[in-house]
Copies of this chain bind each other. A is one copy, B any other.
Amino acid sequence: MTQHSIDTNESRLERGKRALAEIDGQAGQNVIAALADIAPDFATYVFEFPFGDIYTRAGLGLREREIATIAALAALGNATPQLKVHIEAGLNVGLDEKEVVEILIQMAVYAGFPAALNGLFAAKEVFQARKSAA
């Protein structure tokens, strides 16, 4: 996917499905699957709004978008599963492990040392799982 070639005949849903697959990979698919029997409409919204509308906007690259998402989720500190998905996503769209670690260390300044620590331990799990899978 390039951000600058949005096919205007493509629906938000189709565009979002394509973007989610590219950015979040299998982790994203698992979230969608888990929604099937409780709130399938919400799965549609996840495709359409964050991925069909937002991540596919021009004006900011996917690597930059994942920096913003990782920082926000680590700072909020109450959405560890989503933080892990987006650490994975960041690595998928061009961040390296060192850069992810730098983002998380920096959160000590803005959200406190516990937020940074918990973010780093989430990253450690993601990095290890990727090594095991490789």
Chain A positions near chain B (C-beta within 8 angstroms)? 31, 34-35, 37-39, 41-42, 45-46, 49-50, 53-55, 57, 59-60, 64-65, 67-79, 81-82, 98-99, 101-118, 120-121, 123-124, 127
Contact = CB atoms under 8 A, between A and B. Distances in A.
Contact of A71 (B31, B67, B99): B67
B76 A111 contact: yes
Given A60-B99, A110-B112, A121-B34, A105 B42 contact: yes
Contact of A60 (B38, B73, B102, B124): B102
A90 to B, nearest CB: 11
Contacts of A53: 45, 49
Contacts of A113: 46, 49-50, 82, 109-110
